[in-house]
Amino acid sequence: MRLLIVNRTLKWCSRNTWGDGRDVTTDLKNHRQYYCDSDLEKALNRVDFFRIFHTMALRYGFDHFGILQLGNEGDACTLTNRLALHDLPSGLSDAYDKRHRFGDSVVFKSLHTSSIPSTWKAGDLHPGGNLLDQLGFDVLICVPVAGITGARYAVLFLGDGEGMERQAHFALCYDAICAFDYFYRLVLSNKAGLGLTPRETEILRWISHGKTASEIALIVSVSEHTVNSHTATILKKLDVVNRTQMVAKAIREQIIQ
């Protein structure tokens, strides 16, 4: 019996180490009981999370999703800058920002006054105009979420349907919270202080040799986009602002010789 309890505890606390040195705690299986779990466990980059959220939106009868960064309500903000990931039609958020002030919308303000999931419909009268009328959708579901560091976001689902039944709404909220948790930990979180992966160290070494991104891409057989993405991650992990400071700090901390 005692052994069983120990095993259960170990299972609950079991930690998987990812390629970049992070420990990701794996919860009990029965904490994640929906079928999207396997996709979440396998997700690695923004395209994977796009697939997960896009499929989730379609599964619940919506056309689009958006992950909205919340923050200081008083800051001037645009919809385009606040969207961390979305599948809205190209140019829609830019067109919206040219005509409207997202920071003044009732939806945005309400997300700063309550963390209860909400449903919004086109046609309702809002001071300054209804966001849905302005974007051209009938219904919007907002699921406020938070990263493990407390950073606040909202997962938005937009469509032209009638809204949702209570149980489906609950299920959508649960799925959105789970998916966002993974997305935040793997993509959005500030990785300052975390160790570099072997590939990141390799790219850092080539940067210290004065190679450009395209040259490094050729040398290590990846795309230029991947090199730039690794470089951005290295900047975050080393908590530096440019490549010069990056190399200086890496030498100072003996990451490279």
Of 105-113, 135-143, 159-167, 210-218, the segment contacting other proteins by CB under 8 A is: 210-218
Neighbours of 50 (CB within 10 A): 16
Element (H, E) at 66: strand 64-69
Specify the residue, 134 or 197, whose C-beta has the smaller distance to other proteins: 197
Q: Is the Cβ of residue 87 or residue 104 nearer to other proteins in the bound state?
A: 87
| DSSP reduced 3-state for 203 | helix
CA distance 34 to 31: 9
Q: Which of 91, 123, 127, 193 binds other proteins (CB under 8 A)?
A: 91
Measured from the CB atom, the residue of 181 and 224 that comes closer to other proteins is 224
How many residues bind other proteins (CB under 8 A)? The answer is 24
Q: Which of 100-128 are b and which e, b meaning 16 or more Cβ less than 10 Å from the residue's Cβ?
A: bebbebbbbebbbeeeebeebebeeebee
The yes or no reply on residue 44 touching other proteins (CB under 8 A) is yes
Among 26, 27, 32, 50, binds other proteins (CB under 8 A): 50
Of 6-14, 124-132, 181-189, 222-230, which segment contacts other proteins by CB under 8 A? 222-230
Residue 209 pairs in a beta bridge with: none
206 binds other proteins (CB under 8 A): no
Range 130-150 burial, b when 16+ CB lie within 10 A, else e: bbbebbebbbbbbbbbbbeee
- Using CB under 8 A as the binding rule, whether residue 78 contacts other proteins is answered as no
Name the token pair of 126.
Answer: 């809002």
Among the listed residues 72, 90, 113, 257, the single contact to other proteins using CB under 8 A:
90
DSSP 166: H
4-33 footprint of other proteins as x/- string (CB under 8 A): ------------------------------
Residues that bind other proteins (CB under 8 A): 42, 44-48, 50-51, 54-55, 64, 87, 89-91, 214, 217-218, 221-226
